[in-house]
Amino acid sequence: MYRYSDRFRRGAGRWMLAAITMCSPADTTKIRLPSGLRASSVPLPSGDYEVTVRPEERVIILAGQGGRFRLEAQERASKAQVSRPAAQLRPVEGERRFLVVARLPPASEWVGTLVEAP
């Protein structure tokens, strides 16, 4: 089901396996984007997108509406454990940005940014 990267990282005083890689179509989740968002300078059509995380490349891939869009992503600490991949689109208070938050089992969280078009 999941494949572990053969790279290791140092954490919590011990070596542990690097983040799990989503590696099959069943590992994707879907989110719905409203109109008027863009990734960097590329406008994104509104609609449903499949979300896939590539930890080794540090990107979130949005596939749908006739295209594949790559968002630069940052891994952030997560204490919440999940049993299957999940993704959410969250607005940022007081700003014209949205965060794409993708969680991978067991407790990995990746965040990419979308900006509202002016």
Report how far residue 83's alpha carbon sits from residue 73's, in angstroms, rounded to the nearest whole number: 21
Per-residue pLDDT tens digits for 36-72: 899 888 899 999 999 999 989 999 999 988 889 999 9
pTM summary value? 0.73
Residues in the chain: 118
Per-residue pLDDT tens digits for 61-105: 999 888 899 999 999 888 888 888 889 999 999 999 999 999 988
Is residue 53 classed exposed, middle or buried when 0-12, 13-18 and 19+ CB atoms within 10 A define those classes?
A: buried
Q: Which DSSP letter does residue 65 get?
A: T
Question: 85 φ, ψ to 5°?
Answer: -60, 145
Q: Cis peptide leading into 55, omega within 30 of 0?
A: no
Report how far residue 52's alpha carbon sits from residue 43's, in angstroms, rounded to the nearest whole number: 19
Domain residue ranges in the chain: 3-116
